[in-house]
A and B are shown apart, each in its own frame.
Chain A
């Protein structure tokens, strides 16, 4: 019986070590080819005409002048006259031409008339008299809830209570389940009662009050009660490589696409349907991707357009990469999340009651609600959420959907209560860890490590830096969690008679180190060097592996690779055993040899051993999940603690991060180096959204005012301060199996930095980003009110 479980620390030559990413040299030399770089001879440039209005109806489209222009090869109307457009920047017409400038000229020559309709882009606090929504759930509403990972039980309750205004057929339900919708939710859809959509559409969708325990009594008898206003504005994904795709038809039945995607194996099914060709006739390719962060799961309308334009242009390759302004305006944003919170503790500093009225927007669909209160299961609660429909490009999953907003609302409220009780937040949080459920022990391990790395005991002071001068310094902390688990993943591992090893998997490496950890697991299991393995990913003709979302890739790809490598190794042992005069189970593969465990002098070098396979290579399929090959090699549920040290200039309102500390668990760490990089990157992305990033919409025109990179500001190298990352490893962590790391560490920075600013200046700055204007406003007015 093969032993699939992760090896013990003593027998791991590569697993858990500090290894440089395997594709590092190719990227550093500028030779890594991204979708944006795809540039075959005869490539046609595609461009999109976008609607300039936030809400409009298309009256007429005249593309005749563009069609006649020299160099224009195809024109495709994407949304017909009569169609209602719900956000500025939505796609109307696509053209393909010999080069970009000709395509741009063609776009300018197209005349579209619109009937402009009233729009709303404000996510300001809704009025108090908004009634609870009872209208049926539209397809948009449903998909929006799924995109935002609204908990399954909430989705099911909403479907049951409100009915649905669309009629999902079997195919829709099947596709939904295939794309990861929980079977219970699919069943609820199937059983849902149909109701006509109401025509009068309020921008507000208000949930019923959720209540547990007796919040009124708990607030009355509490020792301390704190009330506050918290939240985070809409931000964008701002992938450096914009969204885009290139399509070409080698024959009139076969399509090849190059696409910037987090979902290589899932693209063909999404392209086949609108084009009406079999998914098996579509080959999807991508070697490198310049960022996704949750925004690149679909081919999108512009991607489909490249295939349509190519077809119309006789099959020649057509590429559309979004311009930066379109990327910022329509290709993904993180919903805003705000709340008025009341929170209470007893005299021992135990949390007893929570009340929140939260709101936010994720575009036209409204958006999901953050899981409040975050982390802490406070016994008495009353909460209600209002989703605001706004005329802007829809929300897409943004690393750890809804969690950063939940942390920014909860961890801040807890910190304000702590300050009111004159307690140290580390002490207060520690007293309440029993409310964190299964993650309690992890946080208990992590908090002292984080405090030590931050020198919290010496540097922390009660709220309000009392030192002289305008620069105030403070510390803050936050906790976070995420699920994980491993997605479905298949791979083929081939051992050739010459000793070379190749692995094929239709996955993607978003820069997380996916290639590196697959190679490490295989090399570690086979006892051979990393460069003995040729890893082939990025081609839909390889075995299917899941989308990179929700921190599920590391668990999935390492599990399938481990099973394939163990089976391949054991089959090799069976072939080699007679030559070593041993039984297969007496053998081990270490240091590029296959040898007898009890007598290492009886050994064959790896190449010699592989020669025993015979003339033909042997290929083994590895799968995840695979109940026939236990144990489960992945897991779910991680915990992390982060702390921030900031300085605030109370004269200018400028916040500077001096230091960030992150202590993170992710089960068994496959590669310490790339794991640390991912946490460091999350801290930096967190500094960026905590201090600078905001999607600003003009209430008059409904357009994004900063769809660029000078006014949509990312953190730069000057903004990051000192950074310390500690990965939890060893006993209690390794045996949990491999868990992904993309979401968890990006959850806490906003809350930790906001708390540090409050600790520095003595007043809460309610909303992220903590811009100079917001800091100065809070200093002037106190933190109880804020402009969004």
Chain B
């Protein structure tokens, strides 16, 4: 069962008691107890994680988040179920529709197709990380202005994808848009507005 402690993001801005214990050396041996089992496969030593829960640390929107998760948990499910970052949506759950798009080290990935355990050590940015408090990013503002959303379920994924696309293509052509934003599906039919957003060229990230 989920317990409360795994659901609260840890703030890296201060030194927590656990950090202090690691710094002081007391906790150094602990990872060996919880860490992977080493086995030999095809002549090489490989680490086997699980099948039970293992400690997982993610860097999301600049914050370090930790939880005990089974190795089979996807990045998407970890974000949504353990850290309540529900902007990325589970729609196709197999890397086709783009509704779960997040940035990993600056590139778009389908969070449903990445295991949380493999996302450790990467910088993850979700839709929640693109808005600064109540201030919408320029791309979000453009989505509102061009009414590029209806039910809104595909919108967070589309906004992350569009933000990255505009960083790569600051002056996109219609053909760039056709190719560059084809990784996301919308059912209500908001593509005309999204195309207008991309052609209006709002600046990518929030300041």
* CB of A678 closer than 8 Å to a CB of B: yes
* CB of B84 closer than 8 Å to a CB of A: yes
Contacts of B154 in A (CB 8 A): 240
The closest CB in chain B to the CB of A18 belongs to B147
Within 8 A of A (CB), among B102-158: 126-128, 131, 136, 140-141, 143-145, 147, 149-156
Beyond A240-B99, A717-B182, whether A290 also contacts B89 by CB under 8 A is: yes
B contacts with A: majority SS: loop
Q: For the complex, what is the distance from the CA of A32 to the CA of B144, rounded to whole Å? A: 14
User: A20, B153: Cβ atoms under 8 Å?
Assistant: no
Contacts of A717 in B (CB 8 A): 177-178, 181-182, 184, 191, 194-195
Contacts of A682 in B (CB 8 A): 189
The closest CB in chain A to the CB of B193 belongs to A677
* CB of A42 closer than 8 Å to a CB of B: yes
* CB of A31 closer than 8 Å to a CB of B: yes
User: B91, A324: Cβ atoms under 8 Å?
Assistant: yes
Which 10 residue pairs spanning A and B have beta carbons closest together? A30-B87, A684-B189, A290-B153, A511-B151, A681-B189, A27-B152, A30-B127, A511-B150, A37-B86, A24-B144
Beyond A36-B89, A39-B81, A716-B182, whether A27 also contacts B193 by CB under 8 A is: no
Beyond A240-B97, A720-B191, whether A34 also contacts B153 by CB under 8 A is: yes
* CB of A673 closer than 8 Å to a CB of B: yes
21 sampled A-B residue pairs with Cβ under 8 A: A21-B149, A27-B149, A28-B141, A28-B152, A28-B155, A28-B156, A28-B159, A29-B128, A39-B86, A99-B81, A238-B187, A239-B187, A242-B91, A291-B151, A291-B188, A511-B149, A511-B188, A673-B147, A680-B189, A684-B191, A716-B185
* CB of A580 closer than 8 Å to a CB of B: no
Min CB distance A287 to B, Å, is 11
Contacts of B143 in A (CB 8 A): 24, 28
Chain B proximity mask over A651-686: 1 for CB below 8 Å, otherwise 0: 000000000000000000000011011101111110
Q: For the complex, what is the distance from the CA of A723 to the CA of B174, rounded to whole Å? A: 14
Q: For the complex, what is the distance from the CA of A511 to the CA of B147, rounded to whole Å? A: 11
* CB of B47 closer than 8 Å to a CB of A: no
Min CB distance B138 to A, Å, is 11
Within 8 A of A (CB), among B151-205: 151-156, 159, 177-179, 181-182, 184-195
* CB of A283 closer than 8 Å to a CB of B: no
User: B189, A240: Cβ atoms under 8 Å?
Assistant: no
Contacts of B144 in A (CB 8 A): 20-21, 24-25, 28
Min CB distance B162 to A, Å, is 10
Interface residue tally for chain A (C-beta within 8 Å):
63
Q: For the complex, what is the distance from the CA of A39 to the CA of B80, rounded to whole Å? A: 8
**Which one of A30, A41, A716 has the greatest number of beta carbons of chain B within 10 Å?**
A30
* CB of B37 closer than 8 Å to a CB of A: no
User: B182, A718: Cβ atoms under 8 Å?
Assistant: yes
User: B188, A681: Cβ atoms under 8 Å?
Assistant: yes
Q: For the complex, what is the distance from the CA of A666 to the CA of B141, rounded to whole Å? A: 29
A contacts with B: majority SS: loop
Q: For the complex, what is the distance from the CA of A288 to the CA of B150, rounded to whole Å? A: 11
User: A20, B193: Cβ atoms under 8 Å?
Assistant: no
Q: For the complex, what is the distance from the CA of A32 to the CA of B127, rounded to whole Å? A: 12
Q: Which of B1, B70, B90, B149 contacts A36 (CB 8 A)?
A: B90
* CB of B22 closer than 8 Å to a CB of A: no
Q: For the complex, what is the distance from the CA of A511 to the CA of B190, rounded to whole Å? A: 11
Q: For the complex, what is the distance from the CA of A25 to the CA of B141, rounded to whole Å? A: 7
Min CB distance B103 to A, Å, is 13
Q: For the complex, what is the distance from the CA of A678 to the CA of B91, rounded to whole Å? A: 22
Min CB distance B85 to A, Å, is 8
Add 10 more A-B contacts to A36-B90, A42-B2 (CB < 8 A).
A25-B140, A27-B152, A28-B152, A34-B86, A34-B89, A288-B152, A511-B150, A513-B150, A716-B191, A720-B195
Chain B proximity mask over A221-243: 1 for CB below 8 Å, otherwise 0: 00000000000000000111110
Beyond A36-B89, A673-B147, whether A714 also contacts B187 by CB under 8 A is: yes
* CB of A599 closer than 8 Å to a CB of B: no
Contacts of B185 in A (CB 8 A): 240, 709, 714, 716
User: A41, B4: Cβ atoms under 8 Å?
Assistant: yes
Q: For the complex, what is the distance from the CA of A141 to the CA of B88, rounded to whole Å? A: 41
Within 8 A of B (CB), among A11-46: 20-21, 23-25, 27-34, 36-37, 39, 41-43
User: B153, A681: Cβ atoms under 8 Å?
Assistant: no
Min CB distance A43 to B, Å, is 7
Within 8 A of B (CB), among A697-743: 708-710, 714-718, 720, 723
Q: Which of B72, B151, B156 contacts A30 (CB 8 A)?
A: B156
Beyond A41-B7, A291-B188, whether A240 also contacts B153 by CB under 8 A is: yes
User: B80, A708: Cβ atoms under 8 Å?
Assistant: no
**Which one of B89, B131, B152, B186 has the greatest number of beta carbons of chain A within 10 Å?**
B152
